[in-house]
Amino acid sequence: MKYSAEELTPSRVVSELNRFIIGQDEAKKAVAVALRNRWRRSKIEDDFLRKEITPRNILMSGPTGVGKTEIARRLAEISNAPFLKVEATKFTEVGYVGRDVESMIKDLVKHAVNEKRKIETEIVYKKAEEVAIDKILDLLNVPDPEKLPKNEENYDEKFKRQSDYRKKMADKLTSGKLDDKKVTVPVKPASPIPVFEIVSGSGGIEEIDSMIKDMMSNIFPPDGQQKGKKEKTMPVSEAFGYILQNEAEKLLDNEKIIREALEWVEEEGIIFIDEIDKIIASGSSHGPDVSREGVQRDILPIVEGCIVNTKYGAVRTDHILFIASGAFHMNSPEDLIPELQGRFPIKARLLSLTKNDFVKILSETENSLPAQYAELMKAENVTLNFTPSGIEEIAAIAFEENNTTQDIGARRLQSVMEILLEDISFSASDKSGSKIKIDKAYVSKWYKSARENEKLSNYII
């Protein structure tokens, strides 16, 4: 459910997060307050003071699979904010092989522009659809009463007759009854320049590919400005989609879309930097450690607030909310360079999940794994019934496997569920109408068998 910024009080944000994430109250509270502070800042009338108030960025630490990414993703979802997840390990210091840290802002802007374009397209869709219907009817040589000369004999009678016929044909078109008819449509000529994909490890020329494409589109103008339009014969269904897309694009105000997208990013953007612990130097003063610390120093101005030039325009990062996270198995947040630590004033520690947490994840969260698998099997007309005892046994097995092998948090539940239901999923298409009860006895029998043939340890890494 989408809420307005005013409606997203901290308690409501936490309540929404509780629908999908079990526990981790400290982290939920931190992100809820950070989100609310954005709305509070927007209500400050003093422009100078409002600009001075920067986001309270958050650094989450805790084992893998406990909800760090999910908290950030759901926060963006409920607040309808442009969101980007990046992995710190994908970046390297300028001059080394890897992505430029500024690419995270460019990617966020690109996402925001695409989302704004999608929204605007939906707005103009109805008008574009009406135009497309008229053009298809013209291609089908259906008389247009609006083109009837006013001085035509029996004008009123002919106008009504043609109007009725055109409306009848329009109804047939929208109902799909004319889909198989063929029409000849003017199409954009193929570009005389081949499209090259430029791949480079240097972040400084990441945008070259799109820049070249933009340059070529200016050198060779699009449809309507090139000589020698081409025509293509195609079914009405295909032609309608082609014309509809073209008409929608014509109605879009690209300048407005870009302007609103840039503002959206600057005021409401959220960037989630995962695996930030992996760019902490281990203590040596040469080799990879130099690059790791260099990445931190390159990320610093982005988080502090700077101007990043993108293909759509300049973007200030001062008020983008940054949420960083890491497992910190071999180090701690205090090992980040002091300047970067200072840009993440809110620290939230996420705890390892218990067996009881696993039970709640399987039974209380919205769109839980048992519900997902039950819906999948319903497509084969097979009914899966997960009993409370079965869910508790699955949770116990996942918890035990985390303790005896590697702790991967809630991701273990997916692995256990997948192998538990492997045989059912494989044969479901041959068991239409059957009902299968997943209780403690069923799960225990499967687990014992899997343990004996070592299938479980091989499957669940």
CATH number at residue 432: 1.10.8.60
Residue entry with tokens 């993440």: 344
Interval 370-423: pLDDT, tens: 999 999 999 999 999 999 999 999 999 999 888 888 888 888 998 889 888 888
Q: Note whether 105 and 46 are same-domain residues.
A: yes
Q: Does residue 189 sit in the same domain as residue 269?
A: no
Query: Tens digit of pLDDT for each residue in 134-144?
Result: 888 888 888 88
Give tens-digit pLDDT for 29-42. Answer: 999 998 898 889 88
Decide which of 258, 274, 292 is a domain's last residue: 258
pTM of the model: 0.77
Cα–Cα distance measured from residue 39 to residue 392, given in angstroms and rounded to the nearest whole number = 41
Axis-axis angle for helices 355-363, 388-404 (nearest 10):
140
Q: Give yes or no: residues 145 and 221 share one domain.
A: yes
Q: What is the pLDDT of residue 281?
A: 75
Question: Given this model, what pLDDT does residue 369 score?
Answer: 92
pLDDT exceeds 90 at position 279: no
What does the alpha-carbon distance between residue 371 and residue 416 come to, in Å, rounded to a whole number? Answer: 15
The closest of 63, 61, 62, 16 to 35, measured between CA atoms, is: 16
- Compute CA 384 distance to the chain's CA centroid, rounded to the nearest angstrom: 30
Distance CA 206, CA 103 (A): 8
Range of the domain at 308: 10-111+262-349
380 to each of 340, 371, 417, 433, 437, how far by Cα in Å? 53, 15, 18, 8, 16
Could you give the C-alpha distances from 267 to 1, 171, 184, 255, in angstroms and in order?
21, 45, 47, 18
Whether 152 and 203 map to the same domain: the answer is yes
Q: How confident is the model at residue 166 (pLDDT cuts 50, 70, 90)?
A: confident
**Residue 373 and residue 321 share a domain:** no
On the 0-12 / 13-18 / 19+ scale of CB atoms within 10 A, 432 is exposed
Provide the pLDDT for residue 200. 40
Q: Is the pLDDT reported for residue 226 higher than 60?
A: no
Same domain flag for 16 and 99: yes
Give the number of other CB atoms < 10 A from CB of residue 190.
7
460: in domain: no
